[in-house]
A and B are shown apart, each in its own frame.
Chain A
Amino acid sequence: GENVEQHPSTLSVQEGDSAVIKCTYSDSASNYFPWYKQELGKRPQLIIDIRSNVGEKKDQRIAVTLNKTAKHFSLHITETQPEDSAVYFCAADYGGSQGNLIFGKGTKLSVKP
């Protein structure tokens, strides 16, 4: 079955710096790769996603890249702000049409002012 590995588990950056989180997946049939932000005690929030027919997608300070050949995808946050501090999860769909997601273990991002 699908396995998603996420690195690093913790990341600390200064405000204004960039942050990069990387994920790898195992199921070559996966086609959908969302990223979620979860603040303490809150629900996971979808922040950006990418589908397998696209190599890169950007939304303001957030971008995601996908390398299907290497089976890895990354989240890039530029000009980080303290409110970006949260746990970020990558996920991949389970290689079928039903869409249930397999999540990475999360990256705790801390942005120091």
Chain B
Amino acid sequence: GAGVSQSPRYKVAKRGQDVALRCDPISGHVSLFWYQQALGQGPEFLTYFQNEAQLDKSGLPSDRFFAERPEGSVSTLKIQRTQQEDSAVYLCASSFLNEQYFGPGTRLTVT
């Protein structure tokens, strides 16, 4: 079946702009995770959903970051007033029995 998909694959934003990143999980996967991956580093946890409930947002770096999954399927990560330090790859993963499957990521560049 289809894997996790993310859009857009690349996003260039001017500092101060708002961006929205979309994740389509594997059908039927209850759990959904967002990670941030800086160049040369491992993914770092941002937030976690079980169905539509956001159960953990402890990894979100500031209140400029907001995530939602209103119908328990597609999720959106929104970053307001982007800063240069937000430049990274944003990875989404959906999970079945702990096994997390990643999407291709969105590479965000803030200029």
Q: Which residues of A contact B (CB under 8 A)?
A: 6, 32, 34, 36, 42-46, 49, 51, 89, 91, 93-94, 98-106
Task: Give A105's nearest chain B residue, CB to CB.
Answer: B42
Q: Would B43 and A98 count as touching, CB distance under 8 A?
A: no
Q: Which residues of B contact A (CB under 8 A)?
A: 4, 31, 33, 40-45, 48, 50, 55-56, 59, 91, 95, 98-105
Known contacts: A32-B98, A49-B99, A99-B98. The answer to whether A43 contacts B91 by CB under 8 A is yes
Q: A43-B103, A99-B31, A101-B33 are in contact. List 10 more A-B contacts (CB 8 A).
A: A36-B102, A43-B91, A49-B98, A89-B42, A89-B43, A93-B98, A98-B48, A99-B33, A99-B95, A103-B43
Complex contacts, B48 vs chain A, CB 8 Å: 98-100
List 18 A-B pairs, Cβ < 8 Å: A34-B99, A43-B4, A44-B43, A89-B43, A94-B45, A98-B31, A98-B56, A99-B31, A99-B95, A99-B98, A100-B33, A100-B45, A100-B59, A101-B33, A101-B100, A103-B43, A104-B42, A105-B42
Shortest C-beta distance, A11 to chain B (Å), equals 15
